């Protein structure tokens, strides 16, 4: 058995430094490959919405509202999105129908429960409807506005894949601010920034 020899000052410093070095290397590896933000361009937003529409909502078994052909416009000055859809409205009692377009703007919110980006504070700005009898026209326009806002409020625009959620959690990151910028919708990731 070899006799015990005390370590020299250089070896002591090296051994004391190794745990801290290892911890910082591990922390760096955990965040490797993770961007600090995600950008969805206007084209990507259009494509995502196009895959989710047309959508029809029936109300009181009397009125069917169909939204299709979505188009998105970025509004960085107000941090909102503007959208417009083709609108179809069918009144089932008298089998009367109308069509037109509906335009609205919306804010965005992050839903941590299912890691999704959702429409929020949907506000219809314009609704054009043709083809309905005069008596039904104004009622249908009012109903169409309310129904569209209800149908679209909280609508999921994007959901983070489970694998990306896990990678962010391991790195101690969460979704921070959400911004509408000229180049697209930007979701920022930050340490412990739960919304």
Residues 6+ positions from 190 with CB-CB distance below 8 Å: 36, 173, 174, 176, 177
pLDDT score for 8: 53
State the pLDDT at residue 129: 87
Q: Which two tokens stand for residue 139?
A: 């009622």
Confidence at residue 45, expressed as pLDDT on a 0 to 100 scale:
93
Tens of pLDDT, residue by residue over 162-171, are: 998 898 888 8
Taking a C-beta distance cutoff of 8 angstroms, is the pair 104, 68 a contact? Answer: no
Domain extent listing, the chain: 43-107+122-154
Q: In the numeric block, which tokens belong to residue 184?
A: 């697209």
The answer to whether 38 and 165 have CB atoms below 8 angstroms apart is no
For the chain, which residues score pLDDT lower than 50? 2, 4, 7, 9-32, 194-195
Question: How is residue 86 written in tokens?
Answer: 């083709």
pTM more than 0.85: no
Q: 113-116: list long-range contacts, CB under 8 Å, 24+ apart.
A: 114/159, 115/159, 115/160, 115/165, 115/175, 116/156, 116/157, 116/158, 116/159, 116/160
């Amino acid at each position: 058995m070899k006799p015990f020899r005390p370590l020299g000052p250089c070896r002591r410093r090296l051994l004391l430094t190794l745990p801290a070095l290892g911890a910082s290397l591990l922390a760096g590896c955990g965040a490797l490959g993770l961007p600090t933000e995600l950008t969805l361009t206007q084209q990507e937003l259009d494509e995502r919405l196009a895959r989710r529409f047309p959508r029809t909502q029936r109300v009181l078994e009397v009125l069917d509202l169909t939204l299709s052909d979505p188009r998105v416009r970025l509004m960085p000055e107000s941090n909102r999105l503007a959208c417009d859809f083709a609108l179809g409205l069918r009144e089932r009692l008298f089998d009367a129908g109308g069509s037109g377009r509906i335009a609205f703007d919306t804010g965005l919110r992050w839903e941590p429960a299912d890691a999704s980006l959702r429409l929020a504070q949907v506000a219809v700005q314009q609704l054009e409807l043709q083809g309905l009898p005069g008596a039904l026209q104004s009622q249908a326009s009012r109903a169409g506005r309310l129904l569209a806002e209800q149908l679209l409020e909280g609508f999921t625009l994007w959901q983070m894949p489970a694998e990306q959620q896990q990678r962010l959690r391991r790195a101690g990151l969460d979704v921070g601010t959400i911004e509408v910028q000229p180049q697209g919708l930007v979701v920022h990731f930050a340490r412990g920034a739960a919304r």
